[in-house]
């Protein structure tokens, strides 16, 4: 046991020391992006920071462009600036991003101190255009409500080496498999490594609440497509679940799960709950009010006095939001509390039996090993 405690202490000491060390070294800026230009010369200033002014830090390079980079310093003590020069060649064979990683590595810990060498890096990304035309599409279309004008935006980046002449660009809106709306944009010409943004609005007055699919299409000799989904909401709050079984033990908490189908925040949502047939039994309570964000799901809480209740009763939950209501009728089962006590006793007995079974089995194994 003593050996185990010592080993655990050493592990904790090692982890704690690594956390301290890992927070002591930094380099910035973390990322720089630029377009490839043949034979271009670029200079970058990086700041290396360390919590230890005596820390010996080595500067070196990694990545596809490491052979084309130099630094005015190979070592820094503590914190300081370095000037990195990148001399690009006539051409690079790999299209897309080619990386230069500027790395800072601290020296090994001195003495018998347990620690780890930290090695961090900042990256310079040089983009080389793809052969021909190479459009990259992205689309932004937020959720909205019925009757609102929802914005839709498309960004087209020409990552190819040739000019992109768009023949047609549009967005189709689908409700399940049915086309319900089309948004057309004015075609343009986009030079190599340039980008263009398209934006418009569409009216949802005739839309039904629910989920929709937006498909953006770009035609330029070839066809490119991207998809996105969005929701059109209505001022509706639904009751999705509630406490249907409860113990007859005085005042008990009742939970009511509610989901918002509205895109905007709404405050002051609560429920009135009626239990009984209204004749021989009639118990009611009101939950606390809760504020909702758009499309949010939350649980309302209230308290039911189960005194004198036993068995199954009708229940009606009336949900209040804005100037509207939504209701649910069902049943709730009030269970005598001794049922729960019996269940607890049964579980306790089973746990004890399982414990003694494994205890006796372990003793038999020990006696067998001694023989």
Same-domain status, 122 and 139: no
Instruction: State which of 128, 153, 172 marks the end of a domain.
Output: 128
Show the beta-strand stretches assigned E in 204-265: 210-220, 222-233, 237-242, 245-248, 251-260
Same-domain status, 176 and 249: no
For residues 167 and 282, the model is more confident at: 167
Q: Judge whether 108 lies within some domain.
A: yes
Q: What percentage of the chain has pLDDT greater than the value 70?
A: 85
Q: Judge whether 355 lies within some domain.
A: no
Q: Judge whether 343 lies within some domain.
A: no
Does residue 172 carry a pLDDT above 90?
Answer: yes
pLDDT digits (tens, 9 = 90+) for 241-260: 999 999 999 999 999 999 99
**281-to-251, 310, 315, 316 alpha-carbon distances in Å:** 16, 11, 11, 13
Same-domain status, 289 and 257: yes
pLDDT digits (tens, 9 = 90+) for 17-72: 544 444 479 999 999 999 999 999 999 999 999 999 989 999 999 999 999 999 99
Same-domain status, 228 and 241: no
Does residue 211 carry a pLDDT above 80?
Answer: yes
pLDDT of residue 18: 47
Q: Judge whether 345 lies within some domain.
A: no
Same-domain status, 41 and 119: yes
Q: Judge whether 263 lies within some domain.
A: yes
Same-domain status, 11 and 97: yes
Q: Judge whether 356 lies within some domain.
A: no
For strand 245-248 and strand 222-233, is the pairing parallel, antiparallel, or unpaired?
A: unpaired
The region of weakest confidence among 63-77, 92-106, 141-155, 347-361 is 347-361
Mean pLDDT of 360-365: 66
pLDDT of residue 236: 97
Same-domain status, 201 and 104: no
CATH number of the domain that residue 198 is part of: 2.60.40.10
Same-domain status, 10 and 89: yes
pLDDT of residue 4: 44
Instruction: State which of 198, 217, 232 marks the end of a domain.
Output: 232
pLDDT digits (tens, 9 = 90+) for 79-112: 999 999 999 999 999 999 999 999 999 876 555 4
Chain centre distance of CA 193: 31
For residues 152 and 282, the model is more confident at: 152
Q: Judge whether 297 lies within some domain.
A: yes
**Contact predicate 259/308, CB 8 Å:** no
Same-domain status, 243 and 263: yes
pLDDT of residue 369: 54
For residues 117 and 16, the model is more confident at: 117
Does residue 300 carry a pLDDT above 60?
Answer: yes
Does residue 340 carry a pLDDT above 90?
Answer: no
- Report how many domains make up the chain: 3
Same-domain status, 194 and 250: no
What pTM was computed for the model? 0.72
pLDDT of residue 85: 98
Does residue 317 carry a pLDDT above 50?
Answer: yes
Give the model's confidence band at 279: pLDDT under 50 very low, under 70 low, under 90 confident, else very high: confident
pLDDT of residue 195: 97
Instruction: State which of 105, 128, 151 marks the end of a domain.
Output: 128
pLDDT of residue 363: 63
CA distance 71 to 60: 8
Distance between the two ends of the chain, CA-based, in angstroms? 26
The region of weakest confidence among 11-25, 125-139, 181-195 is 11-25
Q: Judge whether 257 lies within some domain.
A: yes
Tokens representing 55 are 């820390």
Range of the domain at 216: 135-232
CA distance 321 to 233: 15
CA distance 158 to 139: 15
**90-to-128, 138, 186, 206 alpha-carbon distances in Å:** 12, 32, 37, 57
Mean pLDDT of 283-303: 97
pLDDT of residue 343: 58
Instruction: Provide the mean pLDDT of the chain.
Output: 89
For residues 138 and 6, the model is more confident at: 138
Give the model's confidence band at 115: pLDDT under 50 very low, under 70 low, under 90 confident, else very high: low
Same-domain status, 46 and 124: yes
What Rg, from alpha-carbon coordinates, does the chain have? 34
Same-domain status, 247 and 292: yes
């Amino acid at each position: 046991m003593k050996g185990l405690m010592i080993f655990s202490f050493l592990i904790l000491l090692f982890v704690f020391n690594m956390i301290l060390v890992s927070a002591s070294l930094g380099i910035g800026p973390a990322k720089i992006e630029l377009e490839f230009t043949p034979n271009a010369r670029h200079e970058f200033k990086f700041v290396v920071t360390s919590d230890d002014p005596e820390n010996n830090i080595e500067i070196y390079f990694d990545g596809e462009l490491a052979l084309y980079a130099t630094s005015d310093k190979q070592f820094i003590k503590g914190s300081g600036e370095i000037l990195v020069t990148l001399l690009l060649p006539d051409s690079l064979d790999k299209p897309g991003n080619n990386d230069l990683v500027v790395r800072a590595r601290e020296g090994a810990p001195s003495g018998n101190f347990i620690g780890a060498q930290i090695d961090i890096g900042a990256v310079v990304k040089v983009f080389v255009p793809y052969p021909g035309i190479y459009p990259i599409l992205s689309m932004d279309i937020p959720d909205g409500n019925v009757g609102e004008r929802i914005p839709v935006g498309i960004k087209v980046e020409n990552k190819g080496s040739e000019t992109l002449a768009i023949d047609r660009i549009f967005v189709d809106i689908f409700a399940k498999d049915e086309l319900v709306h089309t948004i057309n944009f004015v075609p343009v010409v986009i030079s190599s490594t340039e980008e263009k943004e398209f934006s418009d609005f569409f009216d949802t007055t005739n839309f039904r609440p629910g989920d929709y699919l937006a498909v953006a299409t770009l035609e330029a000799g070839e066809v490119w497509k991207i998809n996105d989904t969005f929701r059109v909401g209505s001022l509706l709050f639904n009751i999705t679940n509630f406490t249907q079984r409860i113990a007859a033990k005085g005042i008990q908490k009742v939970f009511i799960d509610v989901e918002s189908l509205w895109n905007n925040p709404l405050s002051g949502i609560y429920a009135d709950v009626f239990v009984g047939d209204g004749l021989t039994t009639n118990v009611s309570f009101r939950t606390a009010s809760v504020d909702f964000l758009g499309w949010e799901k939350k649980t309302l809480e209230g308290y039911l006095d189960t005194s004198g209740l036993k068995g199954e009763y009708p229940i009606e939950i009336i949900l209040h939001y804005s100037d509207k209501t939504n209701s649910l009728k069902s049943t709730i089962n009030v269970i005598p509390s001794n049922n729960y006590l019996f269940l607890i006793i049964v579980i306790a007995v089973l746990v004890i039996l399982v414990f003694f079974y494994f205890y006796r089995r372990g003793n038999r194994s020990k006696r067998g090993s001694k023989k």
